[in-house]
Amino acid sequence: MIVNEKIAVDHGLKKSEFKEICNLLKRVPNITELGLFSAMWNEHCSYKSSKIHLKKLPTTGKKVIQGPGENAGVIDIDDDDAIVFKIESHNHPSFIEPYQGAATGVGGIMRDVFTMGARPIANLNSIHFGSVQHKKTKNLLRGVVQGIGGYGNCMGIPTIGGQTCFDESYNGNILVNAMTLGLVNKNKIFYSKATGLNKPIIYVGSKTGRDGIHGASMASAIFDEQIEEKKPTVQVGDPFTEKLLLEACLELMADDSIIAIQDMGAAGLTSSSIEMASKGKLGIELNLSNVPCRESNMSPYEIMLSESQERMLIVLENGKEEKAKKIFDKWNLDFAVIGKTTNTKKIEIYFENNKVTDVPIDFLADKAPMYNRKWKKTKLPTKNKFNKDVYKSLKISDVLKKILSNPNVCSKEWIWQQYDHTVMGDTIQKPGADAGVVRIHGTNKAVAASIDSSADYCFAHPLTGGKQVVCESWRNLISVGAQPIAITNCLNFGNPEKEKNMGEFIECVQGIGEASKYLDYPVVSGNVSFYNETKDKGIKPTPSIGGVGLIKDYKKMISMGLTKIDNLVLIIGKTEGHIDQSIFAKNILNQKKGPPPEINLFNEKNNGETLLKLISDGFIKSAHDISVGGILVAIVKMSISGNKGINIKKPENLVNYFEYFFGEDQGRYLIEIEKNDLNKVKSVLDKNSVYFSEIGVIQEKNIILKDKLNVTIDELIKSNKTWLTNYMSK
């Protein structure tokens, strides 16, 4: 095939980019070479629209061993233990083929983690779907959940937390963000940088097929009515093979055989080989005739761009080939020597004794375009002036039940019950809590992890929304008694070539950076997913934040469930009654405009650190951060979780009942304490200038607010736990 401009454009390259490729090579690339450029220069692999902005994020800290730039981030959790973690998107594939798209998303992120020598110990996910009225939503939700559960359960890795949201902006582009944590000895971490000359390049895992070709390019494309034609670009996963690959890799990692190792993820053999060589400033020579293929007559182009799953590329020490082969033979996996490192700084590819590619590594990696795109700033919306007369027709009990049954507030038990969250026996905080928690086996330590997003806040004002989602992650870890350490992010946005979308991205990143820096909560890994659009309609800006923290003594972990009759419940943080962008404003008042709640980073940090001290000292018996739905929804969730009621006091400085109880002011928590400890707790809060107020006393089954509310927990459970089950059963 003779390559021309049209073929290059069909591969997702701009006309200007194709011209630049020809200028670099001083010739027209052949079809295999064009395939390499299309993969390495697309948004998914090159980060060409985001790189200059991501560089501004804080990425270092006392506990950071490895920041962005590797397969995953690594943090120190004391002793010789470290946690490897990352979040990745698999949005486009999951919309096209929900089961396999979600399943291979889970498989891919787990490979990113165990590639670094870590055994996966926990999975989480953040999934976003279109309107519940949309014809595709129910089937997409069912397929994605089955795919996540099918892969994770077969691998024997617990899914300990997640988030599910519905919004019409995802009608044409759902989001599937998968996160994995792994445990590794911090002295035995493996990296992807190739070193040394004439070192054997080893292919291991499954055979290469034609599935997933152009998967990386498709991930950087906008959908249209021909979406069904893109199904061949979706990879097909096999969790049982991945389990074998995990065990084989960890066995090989037990000695000093491996120089570098890289998962064959997006762009398959292309990205893995080029990235390894680029990091090591080396060349690489590949003989594709040696690549194990499961389909006949595969071309070099197809072999290099295939995204068949469960494959790894390894640079071995010389003389270790036979030992390595025995290990992979034992686990019934393919093993082949397919090349070597060189001093040419080129990728040279041979097939059937013919040289089919001869391209400097630098052209594919460092010379990839980097754009500083034009963007528009989002103005902070003015606050709405709500007509207080509208409140007169509302009953708190009716409003509460309606919000509890809202798709974005209701219990997601139907989802997480399909995931195995107890396998491995170390899960001590299951899904549905502020954060999932797993013990570090054989120690007193535990690791907490949460995942959050806030598309509505980010859509209203991206800078504030970016700050908020980091703070939400921080609060969720604090609420279980974990010291927050670091975050990973998955940044899901529309077409970056549109100034509005690019502005949303830049300002969200700025907000994430400001909050992360202030909280000493650095970003150690992540992913950017652009072009989440269908027929020119994009998603709301949706940054997903995965947070990880440490509990030094897991016996001091707390949950959100109320524990004891007659204990007191306090509100930490001041309530102003901000209802713009709240679920109350949108779901009850049908008002979608207005600014998100303000973020006070000093209060976020101060309130959180003070609560951690109180938790460590044993004063706090349960806790829950106040987020979507406000105070009353948070109270109900604590009540349902602990099967206890609460007698709510009339709040001090009450502005309005609805604004007070359903407003979404930030930086707030509910905490449960013993009555006898009230003075001691007050003393600590006062000393640290933490605003607080008493909200109520724990009692039996009913939640009571004098003259305003008297409902049983059973009534509220019915409102909160039945909607999703009923929806999926219809």
Instruction: Give the confidence band of 207 by pLDDT, cuts at 50, 70, 90.
Output: very high
Contact 288, 338 (CB under 8 A): yes
pLDDT (average), residues 708-724: 94
For residue 212, pLDDT beyond 80: no
The dihedrals phi and psi of 379, each to the nearest 5 degrees, come to -75, 145
Q: Which of 414, 515, 514, 512 is closest to 466 using CA atoms?
A: 512
* pLDDT averaged over every residue in the chain: 95
- The average pLDDT across 193-198 equals 97
What pLDDT, on the 0 to 100 scale, is given for residue 707?
85
226 has pLDDT over 70: no
Residue 60 · residue 187 · CB < 8 Å:
no
Strand-strand pairing, 283-287 and 175-185: unpaired
- Lowest mean per-residue pLDDT among 340-354, 539-553, 647-661: 647-661
Q: What single-letter amino acid sits at 160? A: I
Q: Which residue has the tokens 């469930």?
A: 561
Confidence of residue 322 (pLDDT cuts 50, 70, 90): very high
State yes or no: pLDDT of 220 exceeds 90.
no
Inter-residue contact 695 to 678 (CB < 8 Å): no
Name the nearest CA neighbour of 523 among 508, 512, 510.
512
Output the six-digit token pair for 278. 């680029």
Confidence of residue 719 (pLDDT cuts 50, 70, 90): very high
> pLDDT class for 219, splitting at 50, 70, 90?
very low
Q: Six-digit token pair at 9?
A: 């454009």
d(CA 204, CA 242): 11
- Say which DSSP state 425 is in: S
Active-site residue, selected from the candidate residues 11, 53, 90, 461 = 90
pLDDT digits (tens, 9 = 90+) for 501-524: 999 999 999 999 999 999 999 999
Q: What is the mean pLDDT of residues 79-88?
A: 97
What does the pLDDT look like over 3-14, one tens digit per residue? 999 999 999 999
Q: Looking at residue 232, what is its pLDDT?
A: 57
**pLDDT tens-digit readout, 164-180:** 999 999 999 999 999 99
Distance, in Å, from the CA atom of 686 to the CA atom of 334, rounded to the nearest integer, reads 64
Give me the mean pLDDT over the 353-360 stretch: 97
CB 103 within 8 A of CB 110: no
* Helical axes 678-687 vs 601-616, angle rounded to 10°: 140
Q: Find the DSSP H helices in 186-238.
A: 215-218
pLDDT digits 0-9 by tens, 135-150: 999 999 999 999 999 9
Sheet with strand 311-316: strands edge to edge: 258-263, 311-316, 200-205, 334-342, 283-287, 346-351, 354-360
In the predicted model, is pLDDT for residue 205 greater than 90? yes
90 among known catalytic residues: yes
Query: Of the ranges 115-119, 194-198, 211-215, 493-497, which one carries the lowest mean pLDDT score?
Result: 211-215
User: What is the arithmetic mean of pLDDT over 120-128?
Assistant: 98
Residue 228 has pLDDT above 90, yes or no: no
For the residues 476-502, what does the mean pLDDT come to?
97
Residue 588 to residue 651: CA distance in whole angstroms = 22
**Catalytic: 44?**
yes
Beta bridge partners of 667: none
User: Measured between alpha carbons, how far is 112 from 72 in angstroms, rounded to an integer?
Assistant: 6
Structure confidence at residue 235 (pLDDT): 79
For residue 216, what pLDDT band results from cuts at 50, 70 and 90? very low
The whole-number pLDDT of residue 654 equals: 78
Of 11, 44, 92, 461, the active-site residue reads 44
Q: Where are the beta strands (DSSP E) in 114-252?
A: 119-129, 159-166, 175-185, 200-205
Name the region of 27 (left: φ>0; alpha: ψ -120 to 50; beta: rest): beta
Percent of the chain topping pLDDT 70: 97
**Lowest pLDDT segment from 177-191, 375-389, 627-641:** 375-389
Q: In the chain, what is the straight-line distance between the N-terminal and C-terminal CA atoms, in Å?
A: 51
529, 74, 363, 93 alpha-carbon torsion, rounded to 10°:
-30
Q: Which residues contact 444 (CB under 8 A, 6 or more apart)?
A: 552, 553, 554, 555
Q: What is the pLDDT of residue 224?
A: 55
Q: Which band of pLDDT confidence, cut at 50, 70 and 90, is reported for residue 330? A: very high
